[in-house]
Amino acid sequence: MLALILLIVSFILDGLLTNFLPFMVGDLSLFTPLLTLTTILLIYPLYRKKESKYFITLIITGLLYDLFYTNLLFLNAILFCLCGLIIKYLYKNFDFDFFKILLFTILIITIYETTTALIIILFNLVPMTLTKLLYKIAHSLLLNVIYAEIIFFIIKILPSKYKHISIN
């Protein structure tokens, strides 16, 4: 239940923030939100015993993200699942603390943005360059890293009865 609440809140915040912050090529805010993607990283431990439900949640979240924000049906459903596989690997091989959340948030955002750019280039949707990609990644990090640290702290201090399992 906590995971769904966090996903819904981040999904709504993504929409609200993109409406109030500049989101044009060359005029991105330093606070470009990818909060849903950040939340996907943080909720994996809440699904650790139910990985199939985690990936179903990612597919549904990706489809909703596509419908509401990107208009590219199935793109984010596939990308969120790809990120989910990477997140699963990270959680199985590393212990998470505040510093590693920072690094892994940067990693997941970079992978997501790079994969999106490769798909854009592959299908020639809009002109994309390495400079534009780096610009977009750099402008996505600040807000999302702060959000990840806050959500990680909230999950960490919650009693285990709300989490069903603990985060390290």
Report if residue 168 sits inside a domain: no
Report if residue 52 sits inside a domain: yes
Report if residue 62 sits inside a domain: yes
Domain assignment of residue 133, given as a range: 2-20+32-163
Report if residue 27 sits inside a domain: no
Instruction: Concatenate the DSSP letters of all residues of 120-167 into one string.
Output: HHHTT-S---HHHHHHHHHHHHHHHHHHHHHHHHHHHHS-HHHHSS--
Report if residue 83 sits inside a domain: yes
Report if residue 49 sits inside a domain: yes
**Per-residue confidence (pLDDT) for residue 25, from 0 to 100:** 54
**Per-residue confidence (pLDDT) for residue 159, from 0 to 100:** 74
**pLDDT tens digits, residue range 66-122?**
999 888 889 999 999 999 999 999 999 998 888 999 999 999 999 999 999 999 899
**Per-residue confidence (pLDDT) for residue 20, from 0 to 100:** 76
Report if residue 113 sits inside a domain: yes
Report if residue 25 sits inside a domain: no
**pLDDT tens digits, residue range 132-163?**
889 888 888 988 999 999 999 988 888 766 55
- Structure token pair of residue 81: 């699942």
Whole-model pTM: value is 0.87
The structural domain count of the chain equals: 1
List, in order, residues 6 or more apart from 92 with CB less than 8 Å away. Answer: none
